[in-house]
Amino acid sequence: MTLAETPNQTNSRNPFLTLQYEPALESLGDDYYDEVAAAEFPQHILRWRNDSLLPRLGLNPQAVTDEDFINAFGKFQERKPLLALRYHGYQFGEYNSGLGDGRGFLYGQVRGIDGELYDFGTKGSGKTPYSRGGDGMLTLKGGVREVLAAEALQYLGVRTSRCLTMIETGLSLWRGDEPSPTRSSVMVRMSNSHIRFGTFERLHYLRRPDLSQKLLDHVIEQYYQHLITESDKYALFYAELVQRIAELVAQWMAAGFCHAVLNTDNMSITGESFDYGPYAFIPTYDPYFTAAYFDYYRRYCYSHQAGICKLNLDMLQEPLKAIIDKSDMEYGLASFDEYYRAEYRSLMLKKLGFDQLLAPELDELFPLTLEFLQDSQVGYHQFFSEMARTFAANWRDDPAFVLHDCEIVPATGASAIFDNWCILYHKTLNNFAPEQMDTIAQNLHRYNPKTALLRPVIESVWEPIAQSDNWQPFYELIDKIQSGN
C-alpha cells in the first residue's frame, strides 16, 4: 500500500484542503470579523458541485471526489479560522446596525489561476453572533434557487458570483414563505469579495475612519490593482465603482432580471452581483414588476434598479468622505446615467442581433423594442428566443417576412407598434450586407438562450425534488442553461 492510499490520509489529499489559502481579509485584523464555528449537520448529501469552476482554482474535476466536497464544505473539516464578517446596511431605506453574517462565514480566500482573489463564502452554515432571531440555516429550495440564478446570470453575461457547491444537510426548517417543515442546505458561494457597501457603513457608524482607510486600501490592492500607483487612486476607485455598478444594472436589465433586495448589505464593493434570495426573471416587460412579496412599495421593482443602485452609491459617499474628496465622488457619480444608458443600449442591440452601432435606425430600434414589449406584454425572453429561432436572411427583403412564422405573433395580434417594429427591423437589416445576416443570426442565438429561468421553470424542477427527491430535472435545467439551449 502506498502512503497516498493510507486510509487516515484522506483529508491531506482533499484538493480543497491543499489549496493555498491567502489570509487576505484575516490579516486586516479582527475589527472586521468574528471567528465562528460551523454547525454540525445530521446529514450531508451532495446535491450540486460546480465542476466548471474547478479549473479556475487549478483543480482537475476528475481528481475531486464528492467526498472531498462534503468533507470540506458540509463537514468543514480542518479549515480555520472561519470568519463571520461584520457589516451594517440600509434595508428598504432604514439603517440597520444589527447585521453581519448571520448564517454564513468566509470559509477562505484563494487565488485563481487567472490571478484574481476569490472568496469561498457559506450560506446556511449555522448561527453566528449576527444571527439575531434566525436559525442560521438556508432552506434547500433557497440553495436550489441561488445555484440556478448564478448559473443563469453567468450564461446571460452578467458579472455574478457563482455557487461552488450545495449540500443537503438533513434538518427540518420552518419558514413563513415555504410550506414547512422544509429541507435544509448549505451553499458555498465563490465570488470576488464579500466586502459590501454596508461594511464601510458600519465603520462610519462606529466612527473608525482609520479602519475604513485600511479596508479601502485593501480593496484597491486586491480588486482595483491597476489604480494602486495612481496619485488620486481613491477618487478613481469610486469613479470605477460607479461604472462597474452602472454596467451591472444594465446587464440585469437586459437579462430581464430583478434582484429584489438591493439593500446596501447586498451591494458588493467589487461591483459584482451576488446574494440571490427572492429574485425573479421578468415574465413580460413590466417596469413595475416586483420580485419580493414583502416589497410593499415596489422600492426594488425591475425599473427602479438603476435609480436605487445610484442612490446606494450616493449614500456610500457618506462613509467614504473621510478618505475621498466629496466633490470628486459627486463628479464620479454624475457619470452613472451615461454608463448605464450606453451599456443597456449596447446589450439590447446585441439581443437584437447587432454589434455595430453605426446606423441611425439602431438608435430608434432600442426604444421601439421596449415600447413594443411593454405594449404587447409578450414574454420578454420568448420574444428574443423566438427571434433567434425564426430569423431568416429574407427578413432583409420584405418587412412582412419579419417574425412572420414565430409563436408570438398570434399572441400579439395585429398592432400598429408591432407593424412599425417589423418595418424598422427590416430597415435596420438593410444597413447591413446580405453576407452579414449570418453574423446577426449568430448574435441572436448567442445573446438569447432558449431557456429562461422564469418562476414556473424553477417550480417545475423544485416539485420533483420536493415530491419524490428526483433531482434529474434540476440537473437537466442546469445543462440547458450552461449550453444555451
Asked if 264 is part of the footprint of Mg ion (rule: CB under 5 A), the reply reads no
* Binding status of residue 220 toward ligand AMP by CB under 6 A: no
Neighbouring residues of 476: CB distance < 8 A, sequence distance ≥ 6 = none
Stretch that binds ligand AMP, among 129-137, 301-309, 336-344, 387-395 (CB under 6 A): 129-137
DSSP string, 243-282: HHHHHHHHHHHHHTEE-S---GGG-BTT--B---SS-EE-
Distance CA 48, CA 70 (A): 11
Residues 6+ apart with CB under 8 A from 438: none
Of residues 266, 382, 412, 448, which one binds Mg ion by CB under 5 A? Answer: 266
Instruction: Confirm or reject binding of residue 246 to ligand AMP (CB under 6 A).
Output: no
* Piece of 35-43, 99-107, 143-151, 313-321 that binds ligand AMP (CB under 6 A): 99-107
99/258 with CB nearer ligand AMP: 99
Smallest distance, ligand AMP to C-beta of residue 104, A: 6
In the list 130, 155, 234, 279, the residue contacting ligand AMP (rule: CB under 6 A) is 130
Distance CA 164, CA 120 (A): 8
| Residue 191 · residue 274 · CB < 8 Å | yes
> Rule CB under 6 A: is residue 266 a binding residue for ligand AMP?
yes
Residue 355 contacts residue 262 (beta carbons within 8 Å):
no
Of the pair 247, 275, the CB lying nearest Mg ion is at 275
Q: By CB under 6 A, name the one of 275, 295, 343, 386 that touches ligand AMP.
A: 275
Stretch that binds Mg ion, among 159-167, 229-237, 260-268, 353-361 (CB under 5 A): 260-268
Report DSSP state, residue 212.
Answer: H
Give the torsion sign (CA, 367, 372, 373, 374): positive
Q: Is 464 in the site for ligand AMP (CB under 6 A)?
A: no
Nearer to Mg ion, 264 or 266 (CB): 266
* Contact residue for ligand AMP among 68, 73, 82, 100 (CB under 6 A): 100
Q: How far is the CB of 274 from Mg ion (least distance, A)?
A: 8
Nearest distance in Å: CB 266, Mg ion: 5
Cβ-contact 128, 101 below 8 angstroms: yes
Q: What per-residue string of b and e applies to 457-471 under the rule 16 or more CB within 10 Å gives b?
A: bbeebbeebbeeeeb
Reported as half-sphere exposure (CB side, CA atoms, 13 A), residue 145 has a value of 21
Q: Among residues 13, 12, 119, which one has the least CA distance to residue 64?
A: 13
Establish whether 265 is a catalytic residue.
Answer: yes
* Piece of the chain touching ligand AMP by CB under 6 A; list 59-67, 130-138, 218-226, 233-241: 130-138
- Secondary structure (DSSP) of 420-468: HHHHHHHHHHTTS-GGGHHHHHHHHHHHS-S----HHHHHHHHHHHHHH
Exactly one of 101, 265, 275, 295 is catalytic; which is it? 265
Pick the closer one to Mg ion by CB: 122 or 266: 266
CB 268 → ligand AMP: shortest distance, Å? 12
Region binding ligand AMP by CB under 6 A among candidate stretches 3-11, 57-65, 134-142, 442-450: 134-142
Closest by CA to 72, choosing from 5, 118, 126, 18, is 18
Binds Mg ion (CB under 5 A): choice among 146, 275, 295, 386: 275
Task: Candidates 19, 99, 291, 320: give the one binding ligand AMP (CB under 6 A).
Answer: 99
For the chain, how far is it from start to end, CA to CA, in angstroms?
47
Q: Which residues are catalytic?
A: 265
* Interacting residues toward ligand AMP by CB under 6 A: 99-103, 130-131, 134-137, 261, 266, 275, 277
